[in-house]
Amino acid sequence: MKNFLQNKYWKSAVIFGNLLALPSAAFAQSGSGNFDTGLGNIGGLFPRTGIANSGTFQDLLMNVISILLLVAGGIAIVFVIIGGYQYMTSAGNEETAEKGKKNVINAIIGIVIILLSYAIITVIANLVSTPAG
């Protein structure tokens, strides 16, 4: 366990996580307790009724897909950051620099695929849901 806590990547992840938490702590008292106000606008993810009260199966499916693609996009962005960190700290080591470059390129390809899949799913859902005539 001691080696795990001394790992430089673990320390970087803890510092990065704390930096992400600071802005939300500054706005912790803003808003009136409503989910649609303040820093965490979760109401935008689930318009009007929320995921539990989706009117149709299609609405529920679109909400779940949106959340999954949002999580996948977040993971891809983390991989861009990790690859950039590897590239920046390679210190002339060509193998580490190549590994960092590959991570960044693959993560950007992943982000493009995520955006395209969201666009394709949205177009198909709109085509299916619009009545003919």
Domain locations in the chain? Answer: 2-129
Directed axis angle between helix 57-88 and helix 94-129, to 10°?
Answer: 170
CA 73 from centroid of its chain's CA atoms: 4
Model pTM above 0.85:
no
Confidence of residue 116 (pLDDT cuts 50, 70, 90): very high
pLDDT digits (tens, 9 = 90+) for 81-110: 999 999 999 988 999 999 999 999 999 999
Give the rounded percent of residues in the chain with a pLDDT score beyond 70: 56
pLDDT value of residue 3: 59
Is it the case that residue 35 has pLDDT exceeding 80?
A: no
